[in-house]
Amino acid sequence: MAQYSQYFDMDSCNLQATCKVCKQKEKVKVVKYSQSSKTNLKTHFIVSHKDIDIDAKAAAQGNPTIEKLFYPPPFSKQEELSNATIDFIIDTNQPISLVEKPSFRLVLAVATGSRYSCISRATARKRIIEKGNAWTFEPQTYMQKFGKPSATVDLWTSKKRRSYMVVSLHTNTASGLKTNVLELAHIPSLHTGENIKRKFEEILSMHRMNLEDIFKVVCDNASNMKKVFKVSLWEDEEGEEEASR
């Protein structure tokens, strides 16, 4: 009879038992029994729960069900740890691919008992973009107080052969020098000096500036960049200085 007793909460003082399976169904069924016989427990279980499935039996016994064994509940700090991972990548300038490195995933698995499901590279990239706040620059207000800002211009080509230009501004603030990305924009090939200059002017125009509003430009030593920023932007100014001598 012990095989049926495990499905009941036994009250030996009053010689009665409450069915755990009925309780799961939000019903209360109290079965009386005697000191010498618990046949009523067996009768109730066979008549009322003859079609009980294995999960209901396990739950009544206080054991994990098949569903919980194979589909455990989500890690309670899944979202919290995912956000912390994104903040770590941003704050320490780590590559987005970090989240897919086996050694990094092993650290998270050990720390969480393998309960945390690490985010993918695509998800990390999406969340980093969502966390970014667009930086706005008010050129007239800034130049009235500090003068002209300087800029850094860089070009690169993605794995999909798409070319981009990034323009950063170097500015003065109350707390010291600061650098912010002004714009990241697609630049069509070819990377000729003329195309680079046109895109740079377009970006400045988007932010209500022109070439004359930039003090100096920092770039690499490529011939096309030198042609734009060493010759094109200041050749008239240098020519005027030569003429005045």
DSSP type of residue 139: H
- The pTM of the full predicted model, rounded to 2 decimals, is 0.49
Based on C-alpha coordinates, what's the Rg of the chain? 36
pLDDT above 90 for 38: no
Percent of the chain at pLDDT above 90?
36
pLDDT at 114: 83
Token output for 142: 């800034």
Beta-bridge partner residues of 11: 16
Alpha helices in 1-157 (DSSP H): 2-5, 20-24, 39-48, 54-61, 66-70, 78-91, 102-112, 121-131, 139-146
CB atoms within 10 A of CB 1: 10
Distances (CA, A) of 238 to 187, 205, 233, 241: 29, 24, 10, 5
**Residue, of 73 and 82, whose pLDDT is higher:** 82
Query: Rounded to the nearest 10 degrees, how much is the dihedral formed by the CA atoms of 63, 65, 70, 74?
Result: -80
pLDDT above 50 for 82: yes
pLDDT above 70 for 235: no
Strands 163-173 and 176-186: antiparallel
Of 54-68, 192-206, 229-243, least confident by mean pLDDT is: 229-243
CA 91/CA 93 separation, integer angstroms: 6
DSSP type of residue 176: E
CB 142 within 8 A of CB 167: no
**Residue, of 61 and 179, whose pLDDT is higher:** 179
Q: How sure is the predictor about 5, in pLDDT bands with cuts at 50, 70 and 90?
A: low
> In whole numbers, what is the pLDDT of the chain averaged over residues?
81
Tens-digit pLDDT profile for residues 178-232: 998 899 899 877 888 888 999 999 999 999 999 999 999 999 888 888 888 865 4
CB atoms within 10 A of CB 5: 15
Of 103-107, 113-117, 208-212, 213-217, least confident by mean pLDDT is: 113-117
CB atoms within 10 A of CB 40: 15
pLDDT above 80 for 117: yes
